[in-house]
Amino acid sequence: MRVRYWRLAVNDLLNSTYPQEKANHWEIKCLQGEYEHFGVFWFRYGTPFDKELINGICFYYNDIPQEKIKELLDFLQQKYGGKALFRQSRVFLQGSKEFNDKNEIANLANEIRSKFNGPIEITLEFEKVTSEEQEQNTFNFPAGKALPIAGSD
């Protein structure tokens, strides 16, 4: 089964013990106001861009000024590389460094919080999670933040 852990804090992530091979998605959302926010994210199997999948990290934005979007793009490209592809309110860094390690995600979340002066929320999604792993909370996330996802892996 697939399980999503949402509204995680950096410490929730750092205290976790998840197997990296089961992580298939992460997102760091940064709030900039009541409706203004952006999110940096990654999908293991690529992110849809029209009909093709793009590998690399991406970000989306909602009601964010252009200068802040440019600042975020420059920040992410400097850290992870990649060719910027734009699609509506999403930016894909094609070929950028990909990662799903808790320490690297936590470090990026802390950098985003500091650089863009806003609270963050982290979401991680896992695939091929066994019932036993979920019942015993072997990933060591707060149990109330687990959201099982219906359907196949």
Q: What is the pLDDT of residues 98-107, one digit of tens each?
A: 999 999 999 9
Q: Which of the four pLDDT bands, split at 50, 70 and 90, describes residue 152?
A: confident
How many CB atoms neighbour CB 118 within 10 A?
Answer: 16
Residue 82 phi/psi, 5-degree rounding, is: 100, 155
What local confidence, expressed as pLDDT, does residue 53 receive? 96
Mean of the per-residue pLDDT values of the chain = 95
Q: Residue 124 is part of which domain span?
A: 2-149
Number of independent structural domains in the chain = 1
Kindly provide the b/e burial profile for residues 36-46, where b requires at least 16 CB atoms within 10 angstroms of the residue's own CB: ebbbbbbbeeb
pTM for the whole structure: 0.95
80 has a pLDDT exceeding 80: yes
